[in-house]
Amino acid sequence: MDISVVIPLYNEEESLKELYDWIVRVMDANRFSFEVVFVDDGSTDESWEVLEALSGSDPRCKAIRFRRNHGKSAGLNVGFAAAKGEVVITMDADLQDSPDEIPELYRLIAHKQYDLISGWKKKRYDPLSKTLPTKLFNWATRKVSKIHLHDFNCGLKAYKNEVIKNIEVHGEMHRYIPLLAKNAGFRKIGEKVVEHRARKYGTTKFGLERFINGFLDLLTLAFIGRFAKRPMHFFGMFGTFMFFLGFGIALYLGIDKLIALSQHQGARVKLVTDSPWFYIGLTSMILGTQLFLTGFIAELIVRNSGRKASYSVDRELNL
């Protein structure tokens, strides 16, 4: 099979048939063998009924439904697991991504041997309140990830099948799939300018809180990318430094007290606990020990953990 199109969705009943018909026209015009995997993220409208009708009339339309809303990352993760195509393309279900981009995305992966192509919505039809935070988010992600893409959060992307089978997307990590792919060893990552269409139906499902969550997830990925397999190198290093800093302070105070006692025999000498440095040193040793133990426990977890995320799938069609 040439192409799998993975489409996570939530309450998009108006656009689903129009989107699927458009994808079919593009695929048939280019003689691609394909499947479309819709992942219904616990929609509360008639989205699942529309998908049942589509899959009943065309076995190339496949659908998965969650019992409740898990988020876009979960939808992509389950869709990736089901995808069988040589090239996997993701897009949003709101008709803001154009299926006409599919042939060129396929060519870049299949013939130019890219591991991942990310869409770049150079001209956007979004309000300023959304585009400005997006620019800041993309700038910060470029600096941290060292991947020079203009639009990390674009839903329209293309992958080699082996890429999506070697990454796990959970939480809110769908924004950072290029970084996940890089951390998994896939380095040939490019981008393509794609059309961004104005929303035709409904309203956006994302609020401003996604940018706060996005920066927190970026910090998490930056740490995981360097220390996921060796957490002791991070926690142990800082723990050792903090412990010996505190130990050095305590040693200094102890020697200073002995010197003071020898110089002022019989006189009352200031107590070590009267100095604020005593508490700084004690706190440093406690923090150092805790950091070291955190690294040790994290190392044990990494070496003994093989569990993957699971989601409560309700129904599947044509899979």
- Same domain for 128 and 254, yes or no, is no
- Same domain for 144 and 285, yes or no, is no
Asked whether residue 162 is assigned to any structural domain, the reply reads: yes
Mean pLDDT in residue range 291-299: 86
> How confident is the model at residue 306, as a pLDDT?
58
Q: What are the helix and strand counts (H, E) for the chain?
A: 10, 8
- Same domain for 218 and 250, yes or no, is no
- Same domain for 176 and 260, yes or no, is no
Mean pLDDT in residue range 11-24: 96
Q: With a cut of 90, say whether residue 133 has pLDDT above it.
A: no
**pTM of the model as a whole:** 0.73
Mean pLDDT in residue range 155-178: 90
Nearest C-alpha neighbor of 83 from the set 41, 38, 126, 47:
38
> How confident is the model at residue 136, as a pLDDT?
81
Q: Report the alpha-carbon distance of residue 52 to residue 241 in Å, rounded.
A: 60
Write out pLDDT tens, residues 75-106.
999 999 999 999 999 999 999 999 999 999 99
Residue that terminates a domain, selected from 201, 227, 253: 227
CB 160 within 8 A of CB 188: no
- Same domain for 217 and 297, yes or no, is no
- Same domain for 258 and 244, yes or no, is yes
> How confident is the model at residue 112, as a pLDDT?
92
Number of domains the chain contains: 2
Query: CATH number for the domain including 67?
Result: 3.90.550.10
Q: For residue 207, name the pLDDT band (cuts at 50, 70, 90).
A: low
Write out pLDDT tens, residues 185-202.
899 999 999 988 877 776
Q: Name the helix (H) or strand (E) containing 247.
A: helix 231-263
- Which phi and psi angles does 169 have, rounded to 5°? -105, 120
Mean pLDDT in residue range 124-153: 79
- Same domain for 98 and 122, yes or no, is yes
> How confident is the model at residue 153, as a pLDDT?
85
Task: Write out the residue range of the structural domain in which residue 101 sits.
Answer: 3-227
Q: Report the alpha-carbon distance of residue 266 to residue 271 in Å, rounded.
A: 14
